[in-house]
Each structure stands twice: as C-alpha cells, then as structure tokens.
Structure 1
Amino acid sequence: MAGPGRFSQPWCMDSSSLETWYNENIQRGTEDFDRDCRRAIDEVVRSVQTICSSGGLLFNVDRILKGGSLGKGTMVKDLSDVDLIAFINPPNLAPIVRLGPAEYKRKLAVVIRDLYSAMTGLSFVSNVSKNEFMVNFNIRVGRRCLNVDFLPTSDNCAGHGRAHSDMFRAMLQLHDNHDREFYSASLAEHQLSFVGNQPGYVKELVRLVKYWANDYLPVYLQKSYRLELITIHLWEKAGKPVQFSKAQGLKNVLLVLTRLTALRVISWSGSRLYDATLAQTAITQLKMINPIVLDPANPTNNVCQLYQQGTNGREIASAAEQTLHHTPLLKNVTVRQGWKG
C-alpha cells in the first residue's frame, strides 16, 4: 500500500504540532462519533431485547455486551466498527464443555439462523448476512454506514466453574484449532476489560496508531486488537509513563513493526486469567513462532498469527519503514526512556 503521501496530515507536519492536530482532528470528532454510535447500537440492543421478551426469538438472552473499539473506548471517528456479544441462556445454548464441540456448533447455528431472521425484520438494519460465528449487518450513523458483528455465545467460562485455567486447558485438549475459535466470543468481555481499563492517555496513542494503520495498511491488516495490544505492551515496557510524547510512542510502535520476528509478549500486568506456565504450555503445544503476542484473555490465541501469513509481515514492515523514513512527522524524533519529550 502506497500510503497517503508525505503531504497529508499529520505525516507532513513537524512532531511539535502533533498534539494540537490530534486534539482537533481525532479527539474532538471521535467523541461525537462515539456518542452517535452508542445511540444507534442501543437501538439495536433494545430491539433484540423487545423481540426476546415478546417471544419472537426461539432463545433467551442473558446479556448483550458492546464490543470492538466502541466497547473498549478506542473508537476513531469514521474508522471503527462494532461487535455485539449476546450471551444465550441454556438450554438454547449451553457451554461447549457440556455439549461437546459438534453439538455446540449445531445449537449455535440454530441461534444464528433465528437471530438472522430477526435482524432482517428491523427497518433500520441493512445488508444482513451470517456465517457460523455471527450475524453481520450495517446501521446508519450520521453519514456513515457502521458495520456490526453480532456474535451469540454461551457463557463458556461458567461451564468450568469460572476457573479460567481449567477452561484454557480444556481448549488445549481440542485437536482442531477451528473448534477453539468457538470460545472466542465468550472471552471477548475479558478483552474489553483489559483494553478498556487502560488509562485515557494510552487509548489516545492507540487511536493514533489505528489512524496510521488506516492510512498505510491494507484493510485486512487494519484489525485493531493486535495493534492495541502491541501499543499497550510498549507503553508498559516504557515504564507506564503518565505523560509522554505521542510522537515518540508512535515511533516506538512503528520501529517494532519493522522487526516483527523479534516480538514476543507472553505475560501482561493487570491480567490474571492465566500464569506464565500455562502461557508457555500453550506456546509449546500449539507450536507458536514469533511474532507472538498472547491474548491477555486467552493464552491459546496468538493475535499476531495473521502477520505470519503470506507477505503480511513484509507489508507491515514496509509501511512502517515508509512512515519512519519518508515522512517529516517522525524523521527527527528520538525515542527516549519513558517517551519523555
């Protein structure tokens, strides 16, 4: 991907102007967009709950969580999409450990088919589609169509008595990685809390990294969770500074993206769902190779696996190098300890 060109903002600017540009172009617009998105998503949630209470769906929903960038508080105006996670009550959908993967997939398919029918009946929803994990649709937010993934799931954690380590060990016993993916939606709330509980100034840097990804990476490499985790990891590695230069933080992220094969993150401060021993067991058993960034919500998930496919890693490194060497914004920026200006 060629990128936006050296004369577009903020890449054409001096690093001393980045903070002002961020406040005027990302922070201000994102707050309004975030509010409008929440209103639109709330309408979807209310509609589903109304249909459930009136008996219009063949399943009962325990709760619906707002996921994705909206739920984590890292949304960027006009760039972010939304996940909704609906926890379905038994007997319509029981935990995987009780049903077994095959029966769970069969029951989930019934729920998805029913949810798909319900969404096609909502006048403010368009382009409804489905696959074996979710129902996907668009809703209008201002002048933009917001893409929404609606993922029904059982509370798979409850199936193990809330002992997450037991659940992860059960996941490792599954021979098919595809079967493990059916746990993902039920673990999304832990991803939300991990990223969502990060300080606001860290989320600001995350938004800037996501803005860079939108400008420089192809769409299939812009998925934000792995970039969020890499940014948070580097902030932790920098000493968790409270005040820091966004330009230095961004440059640090891009430098790491040019050297992805050296990236290895297997533990997180503030996340206690699994320990280092279980993390290493997952890495060994699943034969993970660098770059490794273990999901703080799921040690069987290396979020950087996408970067190992085809030429993806080279594409990311090339985009990062282009930004570092051919745009004025970061050219003369030195990454100091604690990202201090």
Structure 2
Amino acid sequence: MSLYSTPAKDLDKFIYDSLQPNMDFLRQVSRDVDTICSFLKENCFRDSPPPQTKVSKVVKGGSSGKGTALKRASDADLVVFLSVFKSYSDQKEDRKEIIEEIRKKLEECVKQKGMTVKIKTTSRDNARGLSFTFNSLDGKESTEFDVLPAYDALGQHRKGERPAPQVYIDLINSISRGGEFSPCFTELQRDFVVDRPTKLKSLIRLVKYWYKEHIYPYKSQLQRGKSLPPKYALELLAVYAWERGSQKTDFDMAEGFRTVLWLIQQYRQLCIFWTINYDFQDETLGRYLRNQLQKPRPVILDPADPTGNLGEGCWDLVAQEATICSQQRCCKTYWDVPTSSDEQEPPKEETSYCALRLNVKLLTGELHSLITSPTRTVWDFKVQVEEKTGVSPYQQRLACQKGTCVDLADNTPLSAYGLESGNTLLLIVKNEESIRVFLKNDRGRTSTYLVLPSDLVSQFREQVQRQENIHTDQFWLVYEGKPLENGHKLSYYKIAPNGTIFLNLRLRGGWMDQPRCPPCLG
C-alpha cells in the first residue's frame, strides 16, 4: 500500500512494515563499518612520509548514525578526522590527495575482509569525499556511505558540551559558502537527534520517505541552477514540530505528519534556529547570527553549524506537494471527511499531538477552519485568520467561551487559553484603533509610540525624526528582519501591538545594523 492510500490510523504500522530497515542487515552494516573504522584508524597513512598523518577519530553520521535509517534508502557519513588538517582552509586545499589515499586503503580493507561493498570513484577535482555502498546478502537492502576527510574543529568533544565561540568564529572567517565545512560538526548533528524519542525518529523516517517518493521527482522539472531544499531541512522541521508541540512520546503520527506539512506550506514565514551549540552572547558570533536571520524566508539554521542555512531551494514545489499530501487519506483524521466506514467514529481517547484545529465564526454565521500550533501567539493566529477571512488582524477581536466569554490577548500563546482541537472562536470585526509599538535605537534605548496601522511608514519616520532628533535620511527602520519602506502602510508589515521596531543609523561606508533576532514560527 502506498503512503497516500494508507489510513491515518495505520501510519505507525506503515512505518514499521515499510520504512524500518531489516535489523539483521543493520547489524551486518554496523559490524562492517566498525571494521572499516578500525582499519582506517590503524592502517591509513601508515606509510606516509614524516610528519606522519594520523587519524584522530572516525565518526559515523547521517541517518545510520542518528538512528533514522530508511529501508532500501539508508545513508551514512564516515567522517575521518585527520591530524594533517590544522584549519578549515587546510581541509579545503589538501583533501584531494587525502581522498585518494583513503580510497586505496578502503579497497585493501574490503578485499582482505571479503565485504559486499562497492566503492564509487569521481573525477571531480572538488569532491568532498568518496562513496561506497553496502549491500545485504540477499540483495534487498543497501546503505550508501560517504567517507569525508575533515578538520577536527571540536577536538575531544564530550556529548552535551557546547563548543567554544572561537570554533565558530574561525569557521565564519574561513567559509566561501555556507555549510561547506558541516562534516566538521558531524558529532553535534548526530547528538541533536540520536537520543530523541523513538516515535519522533519514526516521524523523521516518514518525512524522509515522503521526500524521496514525492519531492525528489520534482528535480527533473527544475531550471538549470535551481535546486530542491535539502532533505535535512525537513528532518529539522519534524524535530521543531515536536519540540513546539506536545513533546510527548505517544503523539498521533498523522497529526505530527500534518504539522510538518503545515510548516512547509508556511515556508514564507519560517525562521527557525536552535541555541544548543551557539548563541548571541559573543559579539562577533551574535552579529553573524543576526545577519543570517535577516535573510529571505525560509531560514532554517543547522543546529550544529550556523553557516548552514537549510532554507535555500525551491520551496514552492515542496509546499505544492505538501498541500496535495495533506488532502490524502494518510492525513485524514476523525474530524475530516472519512475515507471508509471503519473511520466514522472518533477514537475513544485522543493522544497528544502537535497541531491545533480551531474554528473561527463571524457574526454573519460564516465559519472557517484553521490548523495552527498551540504555541503560536494570538497575534500570529490573527494574521493566519486574515488569509481565510480577509479581515485585517488589526480589526479582529477574538473570543472563546470558557464558562464566560474571554477575549484573547495579542501577545499571549493560544495554549494559555486551554484550547482544544474542534473549539470555536468568535470573530468580531471592530474599527481600526491606535496600537502601541516600541522603537529601539542604535544605543539600545527604547521609546514608545502610538500609531495607526494605516499610517504610512513615511509618516512614522517623521514621528521618529521629531522624537529622536535624527533626520529621516540618516536612519532606516527594521521590523523582524524586514526594512520598512516609505511607500507602504505599517499594516503591510503586520507589526504586532507592542512589537519592537529597530532604528539603524546610516554611517559613512555602510550601515550599522541592530536587527531584532526574529522569533521562531509558533
């Protein structure tokens, strides 16, 4: 049975039967990989002239290292950290000869041990590594491995230990393109996922399978020079959906999958990052991160490597397929149109899940249904409501019935009101009112302004000129990473009540930036 024809209630079984790799094959691969790692560490570069190159460690990454391997489509990285690389630039300049030496030793190892391994070679001068394939004894399973020589940027890394900021500062000063040294951080990428709950890893498998079967075929439609978003970006969306949702181990798989699809469809709003390995405390690193977060949406930063923005690629094609998928049987739950008689009744006990389906009813009787995240603020939900109803978020008053009628405050998360899927909110359309916004200047001082959403940016800039005593041609304004342009109204930028706008001075030789760190979606 295909994914799209699988009933939502059977997704867990579909993953177990169709996506989980064969355990005997995994054990075979694990044994052979351990043998190869030991062989490379003990024998690779043994005959090299002094100063002798040494293998400091070999780290297994990719889906095999994270525990998210997919049946008949597993991938893994063997990152070989070498003493000869003293910097990131050394890795870039000297890896061709290193790769050739590793290939010779790997062929020697395979021949000696009689492994069912096929090594692929490449003629590209800029190859990052070499590839080989493990095949199961019955020929039904295979795992693709990439062997990648890398600079040991982390040294003797201990799990859970945050790298020193200088590690990332050196990285920032060495890159010519984002993510080019991501193999150096394989341990961090692996640790970010490996200890996650088993069911979350199953959701990641499902998302990867969907990408392979339904997204990858779009590659043939792309124009020259265009690319699809990396599969890793969707894996991170699955982790993000779980973290911002229930964080329970028994969530409903269909709800988890639908939440990832919903995030994909909202790609123009996505700005997602984690501060588990790096943050804004160091001045140089913080400045770089703020610049990263100002880039066009979507922005999805690799939690291990801040130079890796995984939001690049043709997301419109992925969002198009996500919309199609969300209407298939695999995503239909009991509140949707049932697809067979055995799905007519809702489950007796609803498991925890990541998404929230709310109904919004206008006084005219018009009713709309929306899927959102319980961690989103009321304001963010109002912006979503506008897409359905055409009512500006500045003219919306939302209320819920909890014994008495309760107005929903803009800056409060939806979860604070105890809302559940299926609840109905009343939407009352009101006249435009003044809202309070904050302006933070280049010295960190914050001022308060009362504005109308219909005011032009140019009118607001004149207010700022009078209150801050700075001429309008000497500053520019930014809200959530977006410069405010004179020809637009403030409402165009969906500036939230009590939102903060940043004032940036124009200086000789360039602009001094003090952008706001955009919040994650939700």
Q: Fold conserved (TM > 0.5)?
A: yes
The 5 Å alignment of 1:116-127 reads 116-121=103-108, 122-123=110-111, 124=115, 125-127=117-119
Matched, 1:330 2:324: no
Indicate if the aligned counterparts of 2:41 and 2:58 stay in contact, CA closer than 8 A: no
Quote the residue 1:16 is aligned against.
9
SS in 2 for 1:177: coil
Task: Return the match for 2:256 from 238, 249, 254.
Answer: 249
The 5 Å alignment of 1:162-311 reads 163-174=163-174, 176-177=176-177, 181=180, 183-218=181-216, 221=228, 223-268=230-275, 271-275=276-280, 278=285, 281-284=288-291, 288-305=295-312, 307=313
Quote the residue 1:4 is aligned against.
none
- Indicate how the Cα distance of structure 1 residues 198 and 276 shifts in structure 2: closer, same or farther if over 3 A, else same: farther
- Indicate how the Cα distance of structure 1 residues 115 and 85 shifts in structure 2: closer, same or farther if over 3 A, else same: same
Please tell me the residue identity of whatever aligns with 2:132.
Answer: F
Task: Return the match for 1:110 from 67, 89, 97.
Answer: 97
Indicate if the aligned counterparts of 1:164 and 1:274 stay in contact, CA closer than 8 A: no
Quote the residue 1:43 is aligned against.
35
Quote the residue 2:446 is aligned against.
none
- Indicate how the Cα distance of structure 1 residues 140 and 223 shifts in structure 2: closer, same or farther if over 3 A, else same: farther
Quote the residue 2:130 is aligned against.
135
Task: Return the match for 1:313 from 315, 322, 330.
Answer: 315
Quote the residue 1:62 is aligned against.
56
Q: Distance in 2 between matches of 1:191 and 1:320?
A: 26
Matched, 1:77 2:78: no
Indicate if the aligned counterparts of 2:293 and 2:299 stay in contact, CA closer than 8 A: no
Please tell me the residue identity of whatever aligns with 2:61.
Answer: G
Indicate if the aligned counterparts of 2:301 and 2:310 stay in contact, CA closer than 8 A: yes
Q: Distance in 2 between matches of 1:260 and 1:54?
A: 50
Please tell me the residue identity of whatever aligns with 2:128.
Answer: F
SS in 1 for 2:146: strand
- Indicate how the Cα distance of structure 1 residues 54 and 112 shifts in structure 2: closer, same or farther if over 3 A, else same: closer
Report the alpha carbon displacement of residue 175 of structure 1 after superposing the two structures with TM.
6.4
Please tell me the residue identity of whatever aligns with 1:134.
Answer: G
Report the alpha carbon displacement of residue 38 of structure 1 after superposing the two structures with TM.
1.4
Q: Distance in 2 between matches of 1:10 and 1:252?
A: 16
Larger relative helix fraction: 1
Matched, 1:147 2:124: no
Q: Is the deviation greater in 314-323 or in 218-227?
A: 218-227
- Indicate how the Cα distance of structure 1 residues 242 and 127 shifts in structure 2: closer, same or farther if over 3 A, else same: closer
CA shift digits 1:71-91 (9 cap, x unpaired):
0011111121111011112xx
Indicate if the aligned counterparts of 1:30 and 1:77 stay in contact, CA closer than 8 A: yes
Q: Distance in 1 between matches of 2:169 and 2:128?
A: 22
Report the alpha carbon displacement of residue 50 of structure 1 after superposing the two structures with TM.
4.5
Q: Distance in 2 between matches of 1:24 and 1:50?
A: 39
Report the alpha carbon displacement of residue 54 of structure 1 after superposing the two structures with TM.
5.5
- Indicate how the Cα distance of structure 1 residues 323 and 104 shifts in structure 2: closer, same or farther if over 3 A, else same: closer
User: Structure 1: 5+ residue runs without aligned partners?
Assistant: 1-7
Aligned-pair identity (%): 24
Q: Distance in 1 between matches of 2:29 and 2:290?
A: 38
Indicate if the aligned counterparts of 1:155 and 1:186 stay in contact, CA closer than 8 A: yes
Q: Distance in 2 between matches of 1:153 and 1:274?
A: 24
SS in 2 for 1:168: helix
- What is the aligned length? 314
- Indicate how the Cα distance of structure 1 residues 108 and 330 shifts in structure 2: closer, same or farther if over 3 A, else same: same
Q: Distance in 1 between matches of 2:18 and 2:163?
A: 44
Q: Is the deviation greater in 146-155 or in 275-284?
A: 275-284
Larger relative strand fraction: 2
Report the alpha carbon displacement of residue 174 of structure 1 after superposing the two structures with TM.
3.9
CA shift digits 1:97-153 (9 cap, x unpaired):
xxxx2x443333321221122234433442432443212222323314432110111
Please tell me the residue identity of whatever aligns with 2:33.
Answer: I
Quote the residue 2:513 is aligned against.
none
Q: Is the deviation greater in 197-206 or in 122-131?
A: 122-131
SS in 2 for 1:300: coil
Report the alpha carbon displacement of residue 238 of structure 1 after superposing the two structures with TM.
0.6
Please tell me the residue identity of whatever aligns with 1:331.
Answer: K
Q: Distance in 1 between matches of 2:67 and 2:42?
A: 27
Q: Distance in 2 between matches of 1:246 and 1:207?
A: 11
Quote the residue 1:5 is aligned against.
none
Q: Distance in 1 between matches of 2:8 and 2:41?
A: 48
Indicate if the aligned counterparts of 1:86 and 1:152 stay in contact, CA closer than 8 A: yes
Report the alpha carbon displacement of residue 333 of structure 1 after superposing the two structures with TM.
5.9
Indicate if the aligned counterparts of 1:251 and 1:324 stay in contact, CA closer than 8 A: yes
SS in 1 for 2:80: strand
Q: Distance in 1 between matches of 2:24 and 2:252?
A: 25
Indicate if the aligned counterparts of 1:248 and 1:333 stay in contact, CA closer than 8 A: no
CA shift digits 1:266-291 (9 cap, x unpaired):
225xx133347745633416862211
Indicate if the aligned counterparts of 1:283 and 1:300 stay in contact, CA closer than 8 A: no
Q: Distance in 1 between matches of 2:287 and 2:74?
A: 33
| Structure with greater contact order relative to length (CA < 8 Å, sep ≥ 6) | 1
Please tell me the residue identity of whatever aligns with 1:227.
Answer: L
User: Structure 2: 5+ residue runs without aligned partners?
Assistant: 157-161, 220-227, 336-354, 357-373, 376-419, 423-522
Quote the residue 2:399 is aligned against.
none
Q: Distance in 2 between matches of 1:250 and 1:314?
A: 19
CA shift digits 1:156-195 (9 cap, x unpaired):
2349xx85311222332346227x61x3211111101111
SS in 1 for 2:307: strand
